[in-house]
Structures are given as structure tokens and as C-alpha cells.
Structure 1
Amino acid sequence: MNDHYEPESNGSGPHGLPVGPDVRMLPSPSDGWVPEPTKISYWKIAWGHKFILLLCIFAGALGGTAYVILKTPEYAAASTVELIGFNQSFMNMSQVDPQAGTDMTTASASNIQTQTRILTSRSMLARVAERMSLEMTPIASTPTTFFTKLRAHIPFAQKEPLEQMKEAVRTAAFTVSARGVGATRLIELRCQSPSPEVAANFLNTLAAEHISQNLAIRSSATQRTSQWMDSQMEEAKSRLQTAGEKLRDFVRQSGMDFFPEQSTLADSKMKVLQGDLAAIQADRIAKQARWEMAKNTPIDSLPDVLSDPTLLGLKSRIVDLRREMAQLTATLTPEHYKVQKIQAQISELQQTLDKEKTGLLKRLDNDYQEALRREKLLSGAYNAQTHAVGAQADKASQYAMLKRDAEMAQQVYNGLLQQANQAALIALVPASNIRVVDAAVADNIPSSPTPMRDIPTWSLFGGALCYGLLWFREVLRRKRLTQLFESPGHTRTILGVPELGVIPSATIDRPKKLAAAQRALNGATSIHPLGTLVEDGQKTLEFATWQNKSSILAESFRQTLTSILRAQPKGECPVYVITSGGPGEGKTTLSANLAIAMAMIGQRVLLIDADLRRARLHSVFGLDNCPGLSDLLTSTESLEEADLAPYLSPTKVDNLRVMTHGLAQVGTPATLFFSPRVKELVKKLRGQFDYILLDTAPVLLFPDARLWGRHSDGVVLVVRAGVTTREGATSACQRFAEDGIAVLGTILNDWTPKEGSPSHYYYHSYEAYGQK
């Protein structure tokens, strides 16, 4: 194994940049420099762009003057009407007026709003415009002001009198407005028109049209109400006659001889039968229960048998004879006449007892059958009486219903007759809820445009618009600076991790030197040239450290390598994960250049393409895609016995090997990295190399970097200037911290020093310093 490269501790500046005797160091937050934009100075924005602002103000004044000259003058007219409420208590008007209760006949705030909407409705304005077109005579307007006289000399602004009147009417209809005047019953009408006579006549015609419309609507509503009430009275009278005839016919046909309000004899009889039926049902149930018990239980255990005195006497006599027989059989033989005599008595008593038991069962059955017959007879009588009572109840219900229909018909007819008389009287009273207070008069002074108002307004608008755009531009610029990483030192201050290095923005702009380097590296082999993408043949920055060893870009990578080597763990091969927050931040470029820089100092380096979704390292190094990482992790072969040489592709850079992403197709690479083979693979590779670098997928999009970080010695986070957001980088560091993975630091990539900054002097004096 080669000896490790030991960098000098005093070879880098505070931001990972090279330090020399003629190079100034960048300011850092510890020196009192805060990399935040200062507060916006509004006066500074205005003073810095004063000529642009004055130009916009002048352009606004010119626009205002053109507006005043070219715009057709409009004349304003105003009229006031009063909303008058009706006395709904007069002649009980609220009972017969169809609009009563709708707030349309009062001077309330809601009705004022309703009337203003009606006055400005499309149908009302269309009728007024049509009426004016038929009644008015076209008259050309006379100029009265300097600007209107100046406009009269513009040829394209002149129109025929008829066309002018039509346009004046359309403008008046379009600009008409109505609003309530404070807490009063007044409604103010306003409109504008190119003709003052048209504006005034339009408002007066609008008020007259609204009054006539209200009168017509009220008259039509009253007429329809009267006609409807007449038809309803005829119908109510017909229903009353029909209800009376039905009631009389029902009484005559049903032969009713009772009053529905009183209880009848049939009801009393039904109640008596109902009580008797309930009693006989209870007796039948009791006897049925005794009979069911006698059938289903031993006869000697029946309560009637146990309590019957005759059966008890017979049982007692049999027991005595059996006791006496037992005494005799103790001394005499069974053939003895005394024994025979007692045996004959016991048999006779037993027969008598059996007959009594049989007779008891027969009596229980007879009692149950008798109770059942009585229940059936009484139930039949009760049902017959129930039908009789039901028939009477149906008659009483029909009678009550017919009587109620007749009474209701009479009430409806009486109410309609009274309201019809009142409606006939109210129809003779003409009333309108609108009264004109101030009629509109023509005003010969135009209300729009107003030169003293419009020209300064346009000037201020032009200046304000210009200043607003300038201010918004400045806000966007400063907001972008606050949300993105722009300069060295920001990552250390915000993320709290070391800044390992700063990679300045550069392009491969020396094709002659690059071509010579490619020829020296590739020779006559079939491998694709270094620094050239296989797909499109474009030069890349992945080999800046190798192709232009003396450039500032190469020196920046070596300076970054110095910071990384300083954090090298002792006693084992370090494994570093190189990732970024999102795509397009340069992690693959940094991985390739750092690997080349390590190999150039004599270290055995392995660069692993762990980004299986967008694998690029095989194209970057001009390699054919061969078995690699995915094949090792999906294989079932033991890693301890496996030969890793086929998976380690050599490059033209000495001491540098590349493990491509492999040929195995993996749908979800994250699940592959959960495999325990990852740990075994890392352990085996540590014994073969001095340094191992892994190019992984972006950490904010995929979990690959976090999974590899568990088996590594630290993570290097790539931050691209002007692209990476502070929130994204902070979230990435927080995820690694939650997983217990050490973040070695950040690398600021694609940094462009701003003119006038201390770093700008270093960036542009590097080449001159190298020539000394």
C-alpha cells in the first residue's frame, strides 16, 4: 500500500482556496462580515435610476395629454327620485295586495337597494334607449373647451349627427348608476354621455319609464288578483253546494237514528260482552293448564290427586293393609286364608283407586271442553257486536267528515267574498311608489377628461410604475440572494459544517491543450477520449484536474482534496459519500475530479457509480458499461469468495479504478441498498484501496445517500452557487444528522466571484501569480 498523502496544515485559506504571498484572503463571518443583503434603500433606487424615472414621468405626461385630446368628452347628468311607501293598513290593503309582505311597497333600505337594481337593469335601460331613439332628434354637439375645440380639428374623430346620438345613448345606458342617499328615501341617478342633452334626457326618461312601469305592474297585478278571486269564489260556491248535498244524501241513505256525540246501546252491550269474554278466557286457560298437566305428568303427582280426600283415604287404607299383610307373611305362608283375605282386600282397594284416578282425568277433560265451548260462543257474540258497533262508527266518521267539509267550504266562501269586495275598491286607487324630486338638466362642462387632473395623474402613474418595476427587480434580486448560496462562507454560517472547498465557475476553453492531453492519455486504444461524452462527443469538466493541471479549476480541486484528507480516519481505508440536495448541482463532476486528484498523489482510489438512476461515470471515463455495483448486490455468490477484479474497470489515470453501475436492471435501487451485502462489499473493498468515493443520487429525492452513509466515514455535500437553496441544504444536513451520519463538510461549486469583491481579486490574479 502506498503511503498516505499528508497535507500541510497551513496550505489553505478560510474557504478552502489557495493562499500565497500575493493573494488576499476572503473575508469571513468571524471577521465581522455578514453575507446577508443590506436593507433596501428606496431613495437609493430612485436616485440611481433618476433619468429613467424622469423619462417615464415625461412619457406619462405625453400620454395624459394624448388621452385628453383623443378621448371623446363626456358630460355628467344627475337626477333625484324619492321612494314613497304605501299605507298597508288602508282598507286592509295587506290582505288583498299580492305584493304585501315582500317589502316592495315600503321605503326600507332593502327596497331602496331593490329599486336601484331595477333602475339599472338591462331590460329597463334597453326600453329607455329605444324610447329615446324614437323621440329625440339628432343634434351635433358644440365644442366648449380648448381641448374639445382642438379635437374638432382631428379628421378621424368626427362622426355624423345620427351616429353621435346613437353613441351618446349607448354611453349613457352603459354609465348609468343609482345609489341610495344616506339614511333617506332618496335615490340618486347619474350617467355620462358625449352629449349633455342626451345625458339629461336619458335620466328623465328613465324615471318616467320606471313610474309608468310600476303603475302598469300594479294595475296588472290588481286585475289578475280580482280575476283570480272571482274564479275562486265561483269554485268555493260550487264546493259549498256539493258538500251540503253530500251531507243530506248521506243522512237520508244511512238512516242514522243516533247522535255521533253520544254513547249508544251497542257500545254498552259490547263492553259487557268484552268483560264476560275476558273472564271465560281466563277460566278456560286455567282448566286447559290443569288438563295439559294431567296429560304430561304422572297421575300420582297431580295436585288434584294429592288433595282429593277420597283418593287419600284409599291410599291410606291400602298402606295399612299392606303393613298388616307384611306382619302376617312373617309368620304365615302366602296360601293362608288370612293372607289371602288381606290380599283380596288390597286388590279391591287398588281397583277402586284406579277407577277414581281415571274418573278424575275424565272430569278434568270435561271441564276443559266445556270452558272451550263457552269461550267460542261468547267470542262469536262479541265479534257480532263489534261489527255492529264498527258500522255505527263508520257512519259517524263519514257524517263528521262531510259536516266538516261543508263548514270549511262555507268559511272559505265567506272570506273570499269579503276580500273580493276590498280588492274591487283598492283597484280604483292609482298609486306610484316613485316621485321625481330633481329632474336632470344639461351641463355644458365635460366631466371627463379633465386636463388638470388627468395629465398629472398620468405623469405620476408613469413614474410610480417605473419605480415599482425597479423596486420589484431589486426585491427579486435580494430575495434570490437570501434564498440561495452565492459566496464562500455562507454554507459554514448557515449549515454549521466546514466548507471543504470552493470550485470556481469555468469552461473548457482551450481546445488545443485539451486535444493534446487526450492524445497523450488515450494513444491508439479503442477507449473513448477522456473528457468527452460517449453520447454526443461534447467536452466536459470531469477531467479538469487531469487535462489542465495548472488551471485555477484544477488547483481548486486539489485545495478541496487537502481539506478532505485532513479529516481522514486513521487505521483504515476511508469511504466517502459524495451527494447533493438535488440534481444538476455537480456531484458527478466533483467526484471524478476528486478521484483523479487523489490518484495523482499516489493513492489507490476506487470511484463507485452508486447513482443507479442516472449513471454517468462509465460515459465520463469513456468506458463500456460492464458488470458493476448492481450485479454484485443482486448476485447470490458469497462476497468473501468472489473475485472483484472483473467489476473494477481500469482507467488511463494511474491508481484509479471505476466500478460502474452494472448491467443488472433494478426497478427500485433503494431496496437494493438495504441488502446486507452492501456492508460486506464495503468491508472487502476497504482492504484493496486507500480511498473509496461513492457518487450517489440526490439526498432530498432518494434515500440512497443515507443508506450508503451508514457504511461510510462521512458525507461530502455539494452545493452549487446560485442554484442550491438554503432550505434544501439545511434539510439534507438535518437528515444526515438524524441518521447519525457525519457530514465532513460542503463544497461550493460553480462559484462566480462578483466584481469589486475581495474574491474577485484572487480569481483574476491567479494566472498572473503563476507566471511570476
Structure 2
Amino acid sequence: MSSLIEYDSNTQLEPSGMAHDHAAGAGQTNLLELAWQARWLLLLTVLTGLGAAWILLQRVEPRFTSVSRLYIERNMPRILEQEVQLGNSASYLYTQAELIRSTPVLAAAAEQGENASLETFRDVDNRVAFLRKNIDVQVGQNDDIINVSAELANSADAAQLVNSVVEAYISKYAEERRTDTVEVLTILRNEKQRRDAELEARRQELIEFRQQNAALAVQVGEENVITKRFSSLAQELDRVELELLDAKARYNRTKSMYETPSQRPFLLELASSQQQVANEIRSESQLSLDLENKIRDLDLQIASLQSTWGDGHPRVRIMLESREKLQARLDKQQADIEKNKEAIVSAYVETMSQEYQLLEQKRAELQRNYDSQFKLALQVNSQAAKLALLEESLARTARLTDILDERIKEVNLIEDVGAMNVSILEVAGPTTVPTYPNRTRFLGVGGLLGGLVGFGLAWLRNLMDHRLKSIDEIAQVLQLPVLGALPLSSERANDRKGRSAIGTVLLTHPRSTAAEAFRTLRTAIHFGLARDDAKIICVTSPSPGDGKSTVASNMAIAMAQADQRVLLIDADMRKPTQHTIFEVTCEQGLSTVLTERRPVRELIVSTEVVNLDLLPCGVCPANPVELLNNGFFSELLDKLRLDYDKIVIDSPPVMPVADARVIAAQTDATILVLRADRSTRRMSVASRDELWKVHAQRIGVVVNAVPARQQSSYSSGYGYGGYGAYGHAGGSYGESAYQLDAYPANGRRQKGLAISAKAETPSTDPAETSEIST
């Protein structure tokens, strides 16, 4: 027999403790699919939102907006050397916008005579606060236009108040800018007069000084000879002093490193930066490395010869002598290298010292020449220095006077046109179309909110729905192959005739969609699950009412119609159904064989289907689990295996009782029947885990009772539900020992797990309680 479960080698089975969480994630529905499933709910909520928005539109008081558009151009004079353009900057426009909404402007607008009798101000105590609340000032994002607007219930009042605010702003701030320009012009003119007098005084002083010192006319270019030489010496002295400081720092650092033995390797690296020294060190190091390689090769040869000839062999002694000579050369070479390194370091330190001393001598010589030239310049050219100072003062005063002349001309122009030019591009006027409420926006927001509420309700409903909704979700959650999906039958199983028709649909409706679905299921079971080595197939379901008996009977008929000898065993000794489907008596059957040990062939009933035999359940016993677990049932299956090609066992549901787990552990394959619109993720995963615990082999899934409206798209979604009571003659299944035991971390099932079940009638006799271990 094959392994417990056949699955793809790349698929890792998840532990049952994680299966529920994984199933919850797999159950999430695509948003578009969720919206389509809840389309009527969404339509209802959207219509409700639109209706609410329409009612609100009828009750809201309309408001009208009046707008005035301003263009403010700033013309400010430049003061002396100020070159910053203060014109149409963004910060300036925002400042003007705040000034328009300032308290002085709003108060001036509110106090205008024509605004006193406005209907808008009738019940307003604080008019300035009212204007600040309702007047909106915005600066254009893509232009330099300022928009002043007001939104009020009275269109005419809104236009009048906006125009009043604009007029108050122009009269208060724009006129003040002209006054500021006049003050600036007055300051510039006074400064110009003072600078003119200073310029004339500087010019007269320079003329008198030149007349008194006529010898200063001898110059080289525009500079005196002695002054030029003194300047050159000063520049050279500064350069040498900087080089001396640098040389001193390098010498002190080199000396400190030389006196510290641990720092000498770094000093050697500094000395090696010279190309000649680097080549010398590299050459000696390469020679030493070559000698080491030769010694290493000789060691290998000596070791080889010693292992072959011994230590006393002549060739070994010759090789040892050669190695000693090479080692002596290597030691001498390394000693020479160390001496050379020491000499290089010493030479590098000496070079730094000589460089420092040379710069020190050069600085001293330049300092002597500089001092001498400085004295000479003071003695001979004191008048020239004073002359240069007078000329510089005259030139600076002249430049300031010219700048003042230019600024005065600019301010004169600004005084004529105004410091700030305010252009009213659009005057506010009353409008007839209300801007609030916006019908399109109100209806759009109402519809959007209604859609969001509807989608939220649909999402909440989907979140609380734990049913498996698609073939892909079943395969992903259960990690089992889905063999097929069967349509919902139009027959009703309210009486024996209806149950018989549903259970033998391949006979009563051989050309129906359901019959073709069972034939497809037969093919899928043969090629994808059972194959020839799996003769005994257990058909079960998570809970009662999933249709496992109907699937078992029709599947047995389909196999029989394929020229296979098939035996259908009704092992549901809690609530048998197969005798009703095939309309036979149920007085004797499987329970009779297990309790009385009668020959099974005497109790097998032939059906009207060729190649199909039926073993009914018989009288329902009080202890079905013990009968199935005593070993005789397994022996019975082994005997029947020799007489039939396929044996289909209709077993009880997995979760209510332990019968199905006992039967599944003794069969070659197990089919788990799930019911559309009913089976939940938790129940299905629990059933799969229970079958895994007993090592049920080749588990496959069949989806039963798919509604007709979902047959064309059931692979993308259908719902399942819960289950009700399941009993016989007022009784019910025994209590299941099922628990959601967590799997180990490696994702494999634990072996040796036991499943226990209690009989219908409580008993204190230990013999009446059975435990199955696999």
C-alpha cells in the first residue's frame, strides 16, 4: 500500500494549528468579486446615500459667492547698495493678503455708510468678526493675482462687502506707501548735500598736499618704487613663514615618531613614498622572498628524501648543507634589510631637519631685509603713503556721491507713479447661481458614502462568513486534491421515492448534467486518486447532510457501468440510507456479519444495476465502533477484495462519531464530501486532520450540491454553511474525541495518535469503550 497521503513533493503540509489561520487568509475574497456578490446591497446603499443627499439639498440655505480680483505691483526704491528685488515676491503677496483681512481694513469697510443698512448686518453684533469669518483672501498658485471673496446668503450684500474691503485696503495701505517714498527721497537728498561738501573738501586737501610735495611725482606706474619693493618683501616673507611652519610641524612629527620605536614602521612608510627608496626596499624584499621560497622547496625535497633514504644518505646531507647555506644568506639578507631600513629612516629624519633649518635661515634673511626696507619706506615715503590715503578718500567719496545721484533719480520716478500700484482686474458683482450647496458634489459625496457603507457591510458579512467559497480555496486550505463538483439535484429527498431518485440519478436521468458529473468524478478517481491498486474506497463527510450517501451510491453505479464488479457497503450503522436508495430490506446486513459472524455472501444483495452488489447496513447496533475495530471487519474487507474490482463504503460523518476514522484507516482511499453553501473551513480542516491522524490514505475532496446559478463559476466562489442534528430513532451520534491537536513544527503528522469514541448508551463497563491505535 502506498503512503498515507499522495501530494506534490514540493508542497509542505501545514500543521493543523496553523491551518485555520491559513484558511482565514485564503478565504479573503477579491474586492471586485466581493462587490459583485454584494451588488444589490451596494445599489441599495448608494441609492439611500443619494436620497439622503437630495433631502439635505432641499433643506440647506443657498449661499452666493462674489469675487474681486486684484493685481498688486510693488515699486520700492533701492537704498544705496541694496540690490535685492522686493517686487512681486510670494511672501509679499501673502503679506498683502493678510493686510486685507487685518482688523483696521475690516473695521474701515464695516464703518462705511452704505454698509450700515445691509440685511446681512441686521442681527450681527461684531461686524469685524463677521467679516473676518466670511471674507476669504487667496493668492493665486500660478499667478500673482489676489482673490477677495465672500460667500453669503444675500448675493448683493456679498458683492458690496467685498468691494468695500478692497476700497478700504487701497485707501489705507496703498496711500501710506506714497508717504514712505517721499520720506526716503528727503533722506537721500540731505545725504547728497553732505557728501558733496565732503567731496569738495577732500579734493582741495589733495591739491594742497601735491603742491607741497612735488618729489612724489616719481613713480613706477601708479605705485612708488620703494613702496612696491616693500610690498614684494612682505609677500615673500609671509610665504616663507607659512612654509617654515609646515616644515617645523613635519620635522617635529618625524622626530617624535623616530624616538618612539613602535612608530618607526609608519615612519618607514613615509620614507618609502620616495620612488628610489621604494624601489630599493622592494628589490631587497623580493630577494629575501626568493630565498625563503628556495628554502621551502629544499625542505620539501629533504623531507621526501628522508622518508625514502633516511637521514644518513649522502644526497640528504648535501641537501641539508645547501639549506644551511641558503638560511645563512637569508639571515644576512634580512639583517641587511633591517640596517637599510634604519638608515632610510635616519636619512629621512635628517632630510626633514635640513629642510626646516634651510627655511629658518631663509626666513631670518628675509626678516632682516623686510625690517630695513620698512625703515626706509617710513623715512622716504611717508608723504607718498599720505598721498595714497588722500586719493583713496577722494575716490570713495566720489563713488558714494554718484550712487546717491542714481537713487534720487529712481525715487523721483517712483514718487510720480506711486510706491504700490493696485489694479482691480475684476469688481465684485452679485451672482444668481448659488455656489453652496453644490448639487453635483453633494450627490457625489452622498453616493460615495452610501457605496462605502454598503461595501463595508458586504466586507463585514464576508468576514463573518466562514464557509469555503471556491475550489481554489478548498485546495489551498485543505491541501488536498479536489476531484470534482456535483450539481444540486432538483429532486427532493422528503420520501423514499425522492431519496431513491437522487441516489440513482445515473439510472433515472442518465443524460442529465448530474449523471455526467458523476461519470467525470469516476474518471478523476481512477486516474487521480485510486488507480488499480486502490480497490476499497471510503466515502465520508465532515457532518451529516453533506450528501455522502448519494455520492457513494451514484459513484458505485458509475463504476459498475464501466464494466467493473462493484460492491457498495452501507457502513453507516447510525443512520443507514443505501437500502432506501436501492429499495431493499434492511433487516440483515453488515451489522449481522459483524455480530453473528454469518457468511457475507449470504447477505449481499444484487441490484438492478449490472455488476453492482449491495451489502446493506442491517439492524443498527448499539456499539458500531467496537464492531468495526475488533479486527473482523478488516478481515472481511480482505476477503471481499478478492471478489470485486471496487468496493465503495458509505461511512458515517467524520466529526460526530469515530466510525469514519476507523473505516478510513482500513481502506485504500478516502473521499471527503463537502456540501456547497454549507461546509465551513474549520469543520473541513478538522475532518481532514482527523483522517490524517488515523493515516487515511489517498484523501480526495468532492464538492456536492453546487447550485445551478454557480455551476458556470463555482471555481471562483460559492458558499457553505453549518450542519444540524443527526440521529436515528430519536438518538444521535456518539460524542467525538476530536480535538484540534497542533502538529509538530516540521508540518508532519504524529504517529501513534489514538481516537476514542463513546457508545450511544453510557456504560461503566470498560469493555464497552474501544480505542483505535494505528
TM-score (norm 2): 0.35
Asked which structure has the greater CA Rg, the reply is 1
TM-score, length of structure 1 as denominator length:
0.36
